[in-house]
Amino acid sequence: MSKKTIKIISIFLIIFLIIILSIMVENGTIQTSSNVVSDKKIEWGIKRNKNHEQPDLGKENRKILEENNGIALGNNEEKTIYLTFDEGYEAGYTSKILEILKENDVKATFFITAHYLNTNEELVKQMIEENHIVGNHTKNHKSMPELTQEEIRKEVMDLHTAVFEKFRI
Ligand SMILES: [Zn+2]
């Protein structure tokens, strides 16, 4: 084989390899950094807006939510308010909150941890009985970017299973 033929075959092989690799990346056979979930830590803080407009979630948070079909804000064309409560621990107000919600026939969402479930089982039972949503605020309220995929799965599913086991009918 002449040097020229070898050169042509080599170039052909390289082009062929590039095509195969790009097809594999497109199919997800090979994962590139763009389709792996990033564990870069981003602060979650919403900036309140003036003029009764929706708060600003921040550019990075908004991008992640959009890419993953997440929801953080409702439709701003509708005049709806979503009441959500962070129940990492009981600060002594939930009984009163439930009472006022009931009086006004308003439903809310309470995001609980395992600590909350184990120390305030009666309140969680009341939330369920009064048709509120009990949301999953993970078992131990850890910082997710610092955990492995398996630890994250456990943080969510252990709480899910504990609530299910305690309150299933
Ligand atoms: Zn929290």
Centre of ligand 1 to C-alpha 111, Å, is 8
List the chain residues with pLDDT less than 70: 1, 5-6, 8-36
State the total domains in the chain: 3
The DSSP-derived string for 23-75 is HHHHHTSS--GGGSPP-------PBP-STTPPPB--HHHHHHHHHTT---S--
- 């890419």: which residue's tokens? 67
- 27 burial via Cβ count (<10 Å: 0-12, 13-18, 19+): exposed
Looking at residue 163, its pLDDT comes to 97
Looking at residue 167, which CATH number applies to its domain? 3.20.20.370
Residues 163 and 111 reside in one and the same domain: yes
Residues 21 and 44 reside in one and the same domain: no
Residues 114 and 64 reside in one and the same domain: no
Looking at residue 51, its pLDDT comes to 85
Residues 121 and 166 reside in one and the same domain: yes
Range of the domain at 3: 1-36
Residues 21 and 8 reside in one and the same domain: yes
Number of other CB atoms surrounding residue 32 within 10 Å:
9
Centre of ligand 1 to C-alpha 127, Å, is 18
Per residue in 96-110, pLDDT (tens digit) is 999 999 999 999 999
Residues 3 and 16 reside in one and the same domain: yes
Centre of ligand 1 to C-alpha 137, Å, is 7
Per residue in 11-34, pLDDT (tens digit) is 666 666 666 666 555 554 555 445
Looking at residue 23, its pLDDT comes to 58
Looking at residue 39, its pLDDT comes to 80
